[in-house]
Amino acid sequence: MKFIHTSDWHLGRQLHGESLLEQQRLALAQIGALAVEHQVDALIIAGDIYDRAIPPASAVTLLSEFLDELIEKHKIQVLITSGNHDSAERLGFAAKQMRSSGLHMVGSLSLPLTPIKLHGKQSDAWFYPISYAEPAVVRHALADDTINSHELAMKALLEQVTQHDSENLPKVVVAHCFLDGSTESESERPLSVGGADRIAPALFAPFDYVALGHLHGPQYRGVEHVRYSGSPLKYSFSEATQKKSVTLVELSTGKAPTIKLLPINTGRDVRIIEGNLADLLVRAKDDPHADDYLMVRLSDTHALLDPMGKLRSAYPNVLHLERTGLMAQQQQRDIGRDRIKKGELEMFSDFFEQVAGEPLSAAQQQHLHHLLDELHQGEDA
Amino acid sequence: MKFIHTSDWHLGRQLHGESLLEQQRLALAQIGALAVEHQVDALIIAGDIYDRAIPPASAVTLLSEFLDELIEKHKIQVLITSGNHDSAERLGFAAKQMRSSGLHMVGSLSLPLTPIKLHGKQSDAWFYPISYAEPAVVRHALADDTINSHELAMKALLEQVTQHDSENLPKVVVAHCFLDGSTESESERPLSVGGADRIAPALFAPFDYVALGHLHGPQYRGVEHVRYSGSPLKYSFSEATQKKSVTLVELSTGKAPTIKLLPINTGRDVRIIEGNLADLLVRAKDDPHADDYLMVRLSDTHALLDPMGKLRSAYPNVLHLERTGLMAQQQQRDIGRDRIKKGELEMFSDFFEQVAGEPLSAAQQQHLHHLLDELHQGEDA
């Protein structure tokens, strides 16, 4: 059984107001090509296929076309579980009518859990998909009042399949949860506040592979085969240094799984650049990836006229600007009245110079100084 | 080929703010039972399966469960086209992965049109599903600038399938449109303003049966086999006198179709009742269907205290109240200042009597009269 494990596609997501649909289309095309190239038997998507309960119609169409390509054209099975961003009910629509085609959509939690046997060219394997569910939902479904945490909910669900007779075939859990000790990114919506969403990795020990979703950085906890694939795209600047990939997994009875990360690269990266405005504008000329999605940290300590406009003329996809230089300066400053006045004078001088192309004359400076004094006297009155 | 033709389920719809989901669940159960009882080969739903582009999750679950029952349990094929209320993109998600199960979801217009051969226990038939599409969409898809009306759009689409070789099997069109001369209800959203949505029934002449959706009253135009099934439930008080049904159709090569209406009755009707408040409250005691959804037309010509509250104590599902008596009286009235004053006096007298349980005394009437005079003098000042 050879499959690609991925998760957190968040189709329909925006990055700082910018649609990522075309990047997602490119990422899906790469994942499809990798699936075909490596002749996998299945693609496993561990939740958050969409970014929200009601995704835009364009995201629905994108996924539908991808499934047509993979399933109808290349005969690769697809298993999708719902994550905390998805609407489990909507994702599960007509799931039974899709099964015979090789598409397994696992929507709302339905108990007892139904193991799915996927056919492989070399050997088959059993999959135990567990849709994301709040502890309260599991508590109600199992009529067990002691289930008051994500860990107890997962433990109860796993007990349903641990004893399943897999006919000596490999056993794979697919789940969407937060393993204790894992590394978060800013783009994940917390499952619960105050750490109540943490699950001990040891719960998953009895399985041959555990395909997890929720965290956007690829990682494993405890043992190498209990792992997050991470998202195929960077969905926040906190992921700027992550290397995005999907996980190629090969399972054979009685052997440790073979695991390999296959990089995903859509050509437009999400990066953070730092420097002063003038230097950055010069550097843009030699930057072959000036159209990446950028957060810019400007070190300039004086006022700047329309820095975003100037940056975007060189880097068209600047999405966020931080004035780190000004912030640092501000932190050092006393906040006395005189300092504030001086601040205003300096700021206006900088502004004037940028607009007029020459500094304030001595007379102009004198005039401005009087004006500011008058204004502040007015405040005191 | 034996099938049930229905349309305009509008799952998720409300009637005057009241959820109809439980009534829809009952209607679907009846339709399912009729399909099984009559051993049909297929169920054909001609658009507006949902009430809006993004239906509530409960409506999605209801339809999904219905499909499981009909398709998985009873092996009855289902064909659903999208109507003007549906999101064609969302309805068409993963349609190719459902086909082999016998579920045919026809979402966005895809050209050339794809005929679908449905298998029948006695004989097969060809179906030509045509999703609802604006003329502009058809004009663009066919790159034909002359298509500027619903009729020309339908004509162009039908031309794609008229010549289709049906191997001498019956040919059935499924469409969602407005046939010229048909009878509307208030609950249909017009496809276009000013009559530009009208299509000549003669266009459909070459087909053995035409399963139409959009209009909520069952009817046919021109020939008996070009027909609307109507909606299975009453979705406005303008449909109060309609008899709701689904249409049972049997087709054999070379014979006229056998058509029969199968009534749908969920037990809770949508009715209009008329009379004065006191009489209606008495009549409620002998009305076994007092929990029907009601529009009440009150003939009382005087002011009433909380008539809706009183009516709902006897008829729990009054959704709309019309004061026809007051309206008629108002129309007859001159609108002179003295008449208005008299009106206020009368109204307050009625109100007082209902609250206090006895009429105004002569002294109270005199006092009120003076008060009203003073108020109106104030207006003139």
pLDDT the model gives residue A113: 94
Q: Is B379 helix (H, G, I), strand (E, B) or coil?
A: helix
Asked if residue B328 has pLDDT above 80, the reply is: no
Of A57, A93, A97, the CB nearest to B71: A97
Return d(Cα A231, Cα A242) in angstroms, integer.
10
Q: Please give, rounded to a whole number of angstroms, the shortest distance from the CA of B149 to a CA of chain A.
A: 26
Q: Which residues of B touch A92 (CB under 8 A)?
A: 61, 64
Q: How confident is the model at residue A186 (pLDDT cuts 50, 70, 90)?
A: confident
The stretch A241-245 carries a mean pLDDT of 94
- pLDDT of B334 higher than 60: no
- Name the token pair of B34: 């009729």
For B102, nearest residue in chain A (alpha carbons)? A97
For residue B381, is pLDDT > 60?
no
Rounded to the nearest angstrom, the minimum Cα separation between A63 and chain B is 8
Cα–Cα distance for residue pair B380/B337, rounded to 1 Å? 11
Higher pLDDT, A31 or A378: A31
- pLDDT at residue A245 greater than cutoff 90: yes
Confidence of residue A325 (pLDDT cuts 50, 70, 90): confident
Determine the 3-state secondary structure of A339 from DSSP: helix
Q: Angle between the B307-314 and B277-284 helix axes, to the nearest 10 degrees?
A: 20
ipTM over 0.85? The verdict is no
pLDDT of residue A183 exceeding 90 = no
For residue A210, is pLDDT > 60? yes
Tell me the pLDDT band of B230, cut-offs 50, 70 and 90. Answer: very high
Which pLDDT band, with edges at 50, 70 and 90, does A380 fall under?
low
DSSP β-ladder status, B103-106 and A178-179: unpaired
Q: How many helices (H) and strands (E) does chain B have?
A: 11, 19
pLDDT digits (tens, 9 = 90+) for B144-190: 999 999 999 999 999 999 989 999 999 999 999 999 888 888 888 87
**What are the tens digits of pLDDT across the range B43-98?**
999 999 999 999 999 999 999 999 999 999 999 999 999 999 999 999 999 999 99
Q: Return the closest-CA partner of residue A235 out of A37, A1, A9.
A: A9
- Please count the CA atoms within 13 angstroms of the CA of A81 that sit on its side-chain side: 30
- Name the range with the highest mean pLDDT among A39-53, A333-347, B196-210, B312-326: A39-53
* Contact in structure between B253 and B264 (CB atoms under 8 Å): no
Please state, in angstroms and rounded to a whole number, the distance separating the CA atoms of residues B356 and B239: 41
- Which H or E run includes B344? helix B337-356
CB burial of residue A237 (10 Å; 0-12, 13-18, 19+)? buried
CB of A21 within 8 Å of any CB in chain B? Answer: no
Predicted pLDDT at B342: 59
> At residue B347, what are phi and psi to the nearest 5 degrees?
-60, -45
Task: Note the pLDDT tens digit of each residue in B15-26.
Answer: 988 999 999 999
What pLDDT is recorded for position A341? 58
Say whether A97 and B67 touch across the interface (CB within 8 A). yes
User: Sorting pLDDT into bands at 50, 70 and 90, what band is B338?
Assistant: low
* pLDDT score at B349: 81
Q: Is the pLDDT of residue B35 over 90?
A: yes
Q: What is the pLDDT of residue B341?
A: 58
The answer to whether B375 contacts chain A (CB < 8 Å) is: no
Nearest residue, CB atoms, B64 vs list A57, A92, A102: A92
| Four-CA torsion A141, A144, A149, A152, nearest 10 degrees | -100
Question: Please, which pLDDT band fits residue A264 given cuts at 50, 70 and 90?
Answer: very high
The DSSP code for B108 is S
Residue B141, pLDDT above cutoff 90:
yes
Tell me if residue B351 falls in helix, strand or coil: helix
Residue in A with minimal Cα distance to B75: A97
Instruction: Flag the least confident range among A143-147, A215-219, A290-294, B374-378.
Output: B374-378
* Cα distance between residue A53 and residue A82, in whole Å: 10
- Contact of A101 with chain B, judged by CB distance below 8 Å, is answered with yes
Question: pLDDT tens digits for B3-16?
Answer: 999 999 999 999 98
**DSSP-derived secondary structure for B136-176:** HHHHHHHT-TT--SHHHHHHHHHHHHHT---TT--EEEEEE
DSSP result, A82-148: --TTS-HHHHTTTHHHHGGGTEEEE-S--SS---EEEP-SS--EEEEEE----HHHHHHHHT-TT--
Can you tell me the mean pLDDT for A184-206? 83
Over 80: is that where the pLDDT of A138 sits?
A: yes
Q: Which two tokens stand for residue A136?
A: 């309260």
Cα–Cα distance measured from residue A225 to residue A258, given in angstroms and rounded to the nearest whole number: 9
Average pLDDT value for residue range A111-119: 95
Please list the alpha-helical segments (H only) found in B4-114: 21-37, 57-67, 88-91, 95-98
Closest partner residue to B94 (CB to CB) among A53, A64, A108 is A64
Residue A135 clears pLDDT 80, i.e. is over it: yes
Contact with chain B for residue A71, Cβ under 8 A: yes
Does residue A337 register a pLDDT over 60? Answer: no
pLDDT category of residue B129 using cuts at 50, 70 and 90: very high
What value does the mean pLDDT take over residues A178-189? 85
Q: What are phi and psi of B7, to 5 degrees?
A: -165, 175
- Residue B195 confidence class, pLDDT cut points 50, 70, 90: low
Q: What is the pLDDT of residues A55-95, one digit of tens each?
A: 999 999 999 999 999 999 999 999 999 999 999 999 999 99
> What does the pLDDT read at residue B86?
92
Asked if A327 has any chain B CB less than 8 Å from its own CB, the reply is no
| Residue A342 vs residue A179, higher pLDDT | A179
State the pLDDT at residue A339.
Answer: 55
Residue ranges, comma separated, of all CATH 3.60.21.10 domains in chain B are 2-263
pLDDT score of A274 more than 90: yes
DSSP per residue, B223-286: STTEEE---SS--SGGGTTPPPEEEEEE--TTSPPEEEEEE---S--EEEEEE-HHHHHHHHTT
Considering only CA atoms, which of B59, B47, B177 is closest in space to residue B106? B47
Q: Which of A367-381, B172-186, B245-259, B332-346 is least confident?
A: B332-346
Please give the Cα distance from A228 to A225 (Å, whole number): 9
pLDDT tier, A333 (very low <50, low <70, confident <90, very high otherwise) = low
CA distance A11 to chain B (A): 14
What's the Cα-to-Cα distance from A67 to each of A73, A127, B129, B320, rounded to whole Å? 9, 19, 23, 48
A359 confidence band (pLDDT: 50, 70, 90): confident
The SS3 of residue B333 is coil
Model confidence at A338: pLDDT above 60: no
Span B117-123, average pLDDT? 95
pLDDT at A347 over 80: no
Burial of A133 (0-12, 13-18, 19+ CB in 10 A): buried
pLDDT of residue B116: 97
Q: Is the pLDDT of residue A125 over 60?
A: yes
* B93 vs A contacts (CB less than 8 Å): 60-61, 63-64, 93
> CB-based burial of residue B317 (10 Å sphere; 0-12 exposed, 13-18 middle, 19+ buried)?
middle
pLDDT level of residue A156 (50, 70, 90 thresholds)? very high
User: Minimal Cα distance from A101: which residue of B?
Assistant: B97
> pLDDT value at position A354?
74
Q: Give me the sheet containing A42-46, strands edge to edge.
A: A103-106, A77-81, A42-46, A2-6, A245-250, A258-263
Q: In what order do the strands lie in the sheet with B116-118?
A: B116-118, B125-130, B171-176, B209-213, B226-228, B219-220
Measured between beta carbons, the chain B residues lying within 8 angstroms of A87 are 57
> Residue A374: what pLDDT?
81
- C-alpha A103/C-alpha A298 separation (Å) is 48
CA angle A225, A230, A234 (to 5 degrees): 160
CB–CB of B67 and A102 under 8 A? Answer: no
Q: What is the mean pLDDT of residues A344-348?
A: 78
CATH 3.60.21.10 fits A2-263, yes or no: yes
H-type alpha helices, chain A? 21-37, 57-67, 88-91, 95-98, 135-142, 150-162, 277-284, 307-314, 324-332, 337-356, 362-380
Q: What is the DSSP letter of B210?
A: E
Q: How far is Cα B124 from Cα B189, in angstroms, rounded to an integer? A: 35
Examine the pLDDT at A335 and tell me if it is beyond 60.
no
The answer to whether A46 and A37 are in contact (CB under 8 A) is no
State the best of A11, A93, A100 to mutate against chain B, taking most chain B CBs within 10 Å: A93
Q: B153 or A254, which is more confident?
A: B153
Give the gap in angstroms from C-alpha A231 to the nearest C-alpha of chain B: 23
Q: Is the pLDDT of residue B246 over 90?
A: yes
Q: Which two tokens stand for residue A326?
A: 């000004």
pLDDT digits (tens, 9 = 90+) for A282-319: 999 999 999 999 999 999 988 888 999 999 999 999 99
B266-291 core/surface letters (b: 16 or more CB in 10 A; e: else): bebebbebebebeebbeeeeeeeebe
Paired tokens of B69? 């029952």
Q: Which residue of B has its CA nearest to A53?
A: B57
For the record, the structure tokens of B137 come out as: 């969409």
B201 confidence band (pLDDT: 50, 70, 90):
very high
Instruction: Tell which wins on pLDDT, B78 or B378.
Output: B78
Exposed / middle / buried, residue B251 (Cβ in 10 Å: 0-12, 13-18, 19+): buried
